[in-house]
Amino acid sequence: MKIAVAKENELGELRVAQVPDTVARLVKQGFEVWVEAGAGIGAGYDDAAYKTAGAKIITDSALLWGEADILLKVNPPTKQDSWLEIDWLKPGTTLISFLNPLGDPALIQQLAQRNVTALSMELIPRTTRAQSMDALSSQANIAGYKSVLLAAASLPRIFPMMTTAAGTIPPAKVLVLGAGVAGLQAIATARRLGAVVEAFDIRPTVKEEVQSVGAKFIEINLEEDTTAEGGYAKQVSGDTQELIRQGLSTYVAKADVVITTAQVPGKSAPLLITAETVAQMKPGSVIVDLAAETGGNCACSEAGKNVTYEGVTIISPINLPGTVPINTSQMYAKNLLNLVKHLAKDGELQLNFDDDITSSACVTHGGEILNERVKDALLVVSG
């Protein structure tokens, strides 16, 4: 069975779906591995390293896509000139990638029409059994780390307390909003740099995790149930949102740095910081909004831009995992390797839809869209 690793064509994407180490393991599992020429350059791996690992290097993109039995990618297939990459795939190919299935259900429909079996890395269940395949977590972890470094580099003061002959400098105050995977890593990173850290999450169950990585948990009394199925946050009512914004405003105003990571799966990000609250912050303070791509947790955020509002810098990065491509590629490649090993027996893919990892992640098979939420999203898009 032929596994192909395609080059990423998204502007600025430096990650790659497989690294030489994981390619060698796939070869050991009995797969033939093809890697598109130059696919690993952004992540620090040249074609020779893949060749040494046992891969065949392919220069012709259409050939690589067209001959693949399993195609591995980071980003969804793109449109190149007048050609959709999907059109290169032969019916029956298995595509495994981030596919943004709820954000772009039309793409999922095209995959179904092409009779491609597509597994979406966003839909790997967040369970202990699937932990080694959980690419959302592996990438969010690094995004949380990098967000703090961006804040520290922009802040016109240092993070740690320093006692020197020239006086004592107090530590910076960092506030983290949303304590999922990215938020917890942001807390740990800010603590390692010496900041004093406070954090809030709408799910009260994360209090202990927040405290275990060294932050004080901010309590806001909410009457509404805030936790949905699977431990995710719920989209709460407008009144509860307002209560949260008001409850947080004094903490935001006192912070030197605010890192926001709050997300509700499949919905736009909750607004946690209004422009009025930003204006109450000290000039020079920094907000890093990791939710900017889904609408932003701060009213002043503009996805992909750094803006200044009333002396406060608001940084809204796009694709932070892509800025640390060596490690994020290594982790993503391992997530994919573990998934392929989970799905394969004796070098062949054998999809078992009674298995929750397969049934959750598989969005198209046999010409059909399998995921009900994607079908609903498609109905909304097509009106």
Catalytic residues: 126, 131, 134, 137, 232
- The length of the chain is 383
Among residues 58, 177, 187, 193, which is the contact residue for ligand NAD, using CB under 6 A? 177
In the range 232-251, which residues lie near ligand NAD by CB under 6 A? 232-233, 244
| Residue window 271-310: x/- pattern of binding to ligand NAD, with contact defined by CB under 6 A | -x--------------------------------------
One character per residue 17-56, x = contact with ligand NAD (rule: CB under 6 A): ----------------------------------------
**Minimum distance from residue 137 beta carbon to ligand NAD (Å):** 4
- Residue 179 touching ligand NAD (CB under 6 A): yes
| Secondary structure class of 313 (helix, strand, coil) | strand
Q: How far is the CB of 245 from ligand NAD (least distance, A)?
A: 9
Tokens of 243: 């209560």
Which one of 101-109, 111-119, 178-186, 368-376 is the stretch in contact with ligand NAD (CB under 6 A)?
178-186
Find out whether 152 and 159 touch, Cβ atoms under 8 Å.
yes
Is 182 within 8 Å of 140 (Cβ atoms)? Answer: yes
Please tell me the distance from the alpha carbon of residue 119 to that of residue 97, in angstroms, as a whole number.
7
The whole-angstrom separation of Cα 263 and Cα 102 is 14
Is 143 an interacting residue with respect to ligand NAD (CB under 6 A)?
no
The DSSP code sequence of 23-38 is HHHHHHTT-EEEEETT
Beta carbon nearer to ligand NAD, 60 or 239: 239
3-state secondary structure of 132: helix
CB of 11 to ligand NAD, least distance (A): 24
Q: What angle do CA 72, 337, 13 make, to 5 degrees?
A: 45
Handedness of CA 289, 294, 299, 300 (dihedral sign): positive
Alpha-carbon span 214 to 157, nearest angstrom: 21
Which one of residues 23, 55, 72, 181 is an interface residue with ligand NAD (CB under 6 A)? 181
Q: Which residue is nearest to ligand NAD (CB)?
A: 180
Choose between 96 and 136: whose C-beta lies nearer to ligand NAD. Answer: 136
From candidates 42, 180, 321, 322, binder to ligand NAD by CB under 6 A: 180
Residues 216-235 that bind ligand NAD (CB under 6 A): 231-233
Q: What are the strands, taking DSSP E only, across 79-211?
A: 79-80, 83-84, 94-97, 117-120, 162-164, 167-169, 173-177, 196-200
Is 137 a residue that touches ligand NAD (CB under 6 A)? Answer: yes
Listing DSSP states for 209-259 in one string gives: HHHHTT-EEPP----S--B-GGGPBPPPPHHHHHHHHHHHHHHHHH-SEEE
Q: Closest separation between CB of residue 106 and ligand NAD, Å?
A: 23
* Long-range residue pairs from 9-12, CB within 8 A, at least 24 positions apart, any chain: 9/75, 9/78, 9/80, 9/85, 10/75, 10/78, 12/319, 12/322
Size of the site for ligand NAD (CB under 6 A): 30
Among 270, 317, 321, 325, binds ligand NAD (CB under 6 A): 270
Using an 8 Å Cβ cutoff, are 280 and 251 in contact? no
* Residue placing its CB nearer to ligand NAD in the complex, 202 or 259: 202
Q: Does 215 bind ligand NAD (CB under 6 A)?
A: no
- Residues lying near ligand NAD in the complex (CB under 6 A) are found at 126-128, 131, 134, 136-137, 140, 177-183, 200-203, 231-233, 244, 261-265, 270, 272
